[in-house]
């Protein structure tokens, strides 16, 4: 097995989850190495794999590629037979647009609802969300309702693709913080949450011993 994916804690690393989930769903074999966040020596450990010192990093033999979007593009080229991106040109372009939007946006919702994959679902009243976070939620709801409806569901472009891997962490946020969702959005979220690979990741997060208190007590 030539591929090794270096990830951070499963409990807290949304960026690590994206390529991990894609590789699991696409049945791409890889070895997994976990380096916990904010532990003494963790940055130095990751600097041996990539110049950013951050997870995730994918190693293909002696070659390394970092950043979740770059990793997914590398996998799409290496495994061209896998439907990493939608096959139709316009659908593929839209999927890339959505991934770029997710990659650089939604900061309000990220800050209001920090990633915690082992968080037990409990009520988080809507006043938790400021105006920016509410606008983020509205945009996400539009994506989750309109895109599957256009392409036939149950995932954004019908079958699972990189776009779903990119939005999967926010799906877990919406569920864990019990945000009120429209029925179409809820249906899409359930499709992601019920993926065996998503269930596996969350079970791994609950099994970890590393705890970052500020993300556990929100």
CATH number of 3-82: 3.40.30.10
pLDDT at 17: 97
Q: How far apart are CA 4 and CA 9, in angstroms?
A: 16
Give me the CATH topology for the region 89-200: Glutathione S-transferase Yfyf (Class Pi); Chain A, domain 2 (1.20.1050)
Segment 9-61, tens digit of pLDDT: 999 999 999 999 999 999 999 999 999 877 888 888 888 888 888 999 999 99
**pLDDT > 70? residue 154:** yes
Q: How many CA atoms lie within 13 A of 198 on its CB side?
A: 20
Percent of the chain predicted with pLDDT > 70: 94
pLDDT at 215: 66
Q: Measuring CA to CA, which residue among 18, 160, 19, 197 is closest to residue 86?
A: 160
Query: Where are the chain's structural domains?
Result: 3-82, 89-200
Lowest mean pLDDT among 45-49, 152-156, 199-203: 45-49
What would the DSSP string read from start to end of 131-145? HHHHHHHHHHHHHHH
pLDDT band at 171 (very low <50, low <70, confident <90, very high): very high
Q: How many CA atoms lie within 13 A of 107 on its CB side?
A: 2
**pLDDT > 90? residue 211:** no
The reply to whether domains 3-82 and 89-200 share a CATH topology is no
Unique residue bearing structure tokens 């969300």: 129
What would the DSSP string read from start to end of 166-212? HHHHHHHHHHHTT----HHHHHHHHHHHTSHHHHHHHHHHHH-----
pLDDT band at 172 (very low <50, low <70, confident <90, very high): very high
- Asked whether 188 and 53 are in contact (CB, 8 A), the reply is no
Segment 110-148, tens digit of pLDDT: 998 888 999 877 765 555 789 999 999 999 999 999 999
């Amino acid at each position: 097995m030539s591929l090794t994916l270096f990830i951070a804690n499963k409990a807290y690393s949304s960026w690590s989850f994206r390529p991990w989930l894609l590789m699991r769903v696409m049945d791409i074999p890889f070895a997994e190495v976990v380096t916990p966040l904010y532990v003494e020596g963790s940055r130095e450990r990751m600097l041996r794999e990539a110049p950013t010192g951050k997870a995730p990093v994918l190693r293909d033999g002696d070659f390394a590629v970092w950043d979740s979007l770059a990793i997914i593009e590398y996998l799409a080229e290496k495994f061209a037979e896998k439907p990493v991106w939608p096959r139709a040109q316009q659908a593929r372009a839209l999927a890339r647009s959505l991934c770029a939007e997710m990659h650089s946006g939604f900061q309000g919702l990220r800050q209001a609802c920090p990633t915690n994959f082992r968080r037990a679902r409990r009520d988080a009243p809507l006043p938790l969300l400021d105006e920016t976070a509410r606008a983020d939620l509205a945009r996400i709801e539009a994506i989750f309702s309109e895109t599957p409806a256009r392409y036939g569901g149950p995932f954004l472009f019908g079958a699972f693709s990189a776009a779903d891997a990119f939005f999967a962490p926010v799906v877990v946020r919406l569920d864990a913080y019990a945000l009120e969702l429209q029925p179409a959005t809820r249906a899409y979220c359930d499709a992601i949450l019920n993926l065996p690979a998503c269930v596996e990741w969350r079970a791994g997060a609950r099994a970890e011993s590393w705890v970052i208190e500020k993300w556990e007590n929100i």
